Homo-oligomer: A and B are copies of this chain.
Amino acid sequence: MNQLYADMLEQIEQEISEINLPAGPSNLYDPVTYIMGLGGKRVRPILTLLGCRLFSGTHHQAISQALAIEVFHNFTLVHDDVMDSADMRRGLPTVHKKWSHNIALLSGDAMLVLAYQLLLDKNHADLHKISTVFSKVAMDVCEGQQLDMDYAEKEDVSMADYLEMIRKKTAVLLSGSLQIGAIVGGGRNLEPLATFAESVGLAFQVKDDLLDAFGSDEFGKAKGGDIIEGKRTWLTIKSYELANDATKKELDNAYGLQDENERVQSVLAIYQGLGIESLAEAEVVKYSRAASRSLSEIDGDSRTKETMTWLVDQLVGRTT
């Protein structure tokens, strides 16, 4: 692992374990400790630290904002799990399964407030700018989740609609994480940072869809899980976009197969016939290159930029 990333990860974990929550009511705050302790790559708060370090050479003044971002991210997980009726998260019961729907709802609300408390923790000349970026991102994330729910009921979703949904649901938070760190660090030109992070987010999402269908098991997911669940992904949308009427019918039939293994194999065969895998790979490369281009435009600390390049490689694979 990259040393700077490793150091930052260790510090984030330490800070998370030390978040100062009120003593009670325990039904409000225990779920916060629980979900925050489930681990993960902590990509978003580390982006905040990296954003700060890019312009100031150090990341310590952005710790509280980094925590705010991670608390916000976990708030979305708690509420999304309620909306998706998801029982498990990172191998453990979700908050609403372990406690109740009402507790997940309310402790999620408290986490959103806690995120703002951490974000606006200290007085700062750029407090208004920080809160404006954060709230815009938070609203986009709500819109992305609503679009996701709307599209689940909709027959026909275009690639443009799908990309806008994942941009709001996933990419803008990466972008906001980096931008807020940069503001704290005194950065002024946020545009290339935003483009960098949004591109990484889109590349990551398409890569994730791709790995689910064609990847090996090392990523901890059952191959073809999205196909089994009938989930709409970049691959499904692209395949219906390219298919002629006969192939569309074949796709419908394949998705309708009772046997899960047969279903996965049949859908994958059609994807192969349409060349979906290489199209998706090209899409990942396109976004990754856009990310690299934006990164090269950023005038900041070189060790931080190296770590950002390393992080992109981890998330979406080497593209150069």
Contacts and interface: CB of A to CB of B under 8 A. Distances in A.
Contact of A117 (B139, B147, B149): B139
Given A102-B83, A105-B82, A105-B105, A110 B27 contact: no
B105 A83 contact: yes
Interface centre among A22, A82, A113 (most CB of B within 10 A): A113
Copies of the polypeptide in the assembly: 2
Interface residues of A, number: 38
Interface of A is mostly: helix
Nearest to A119: B131
B79 A105 contact: yes
Contact of A28 (B22, B114, B116, B146): B146
Contact of A113 (B122, B124, B139): B139
Contacts of A17: none
A149 B102 contact: yes
A308 interface: no
A128 B135 contact: no
A147 B25 contact: yes
A260 interface: no
A128 B139 contact: no
Interface string A133-163: 0010011001101110110000000000000
Contacts of A25: 143, 146-147, 150
A139 B138 CA distance: 18
Contacts of A14: none
A132 interface: yes
A24 to B, nearest CB: 8
Contacts of A103: 146, 149
Contacts of A150: 25, 27
Nearest to A126: B123
A125 to B, nearest CB: 10
A98 to B, nearest CB: 16
Given A28-B146, A83-B102, A83-B106, 11 more contacts: A24-B143, A27-B146, A103-B149, A109-B109, A109-B112, A116-B131, A117-B132, A117-B139, A120-B132, A124-B128, A127-B131
19 contacts: A22-B139, A25-B143, A25-B146, A27-B146, A82-B102, A83-B106, A103-B149, A106-B142, A108-B109, A109-B109, A112-B112, A113-B139, A113-B142, A116-B116, A117-B135, A120-B127, A120-B131, A127-B128, A127-B131
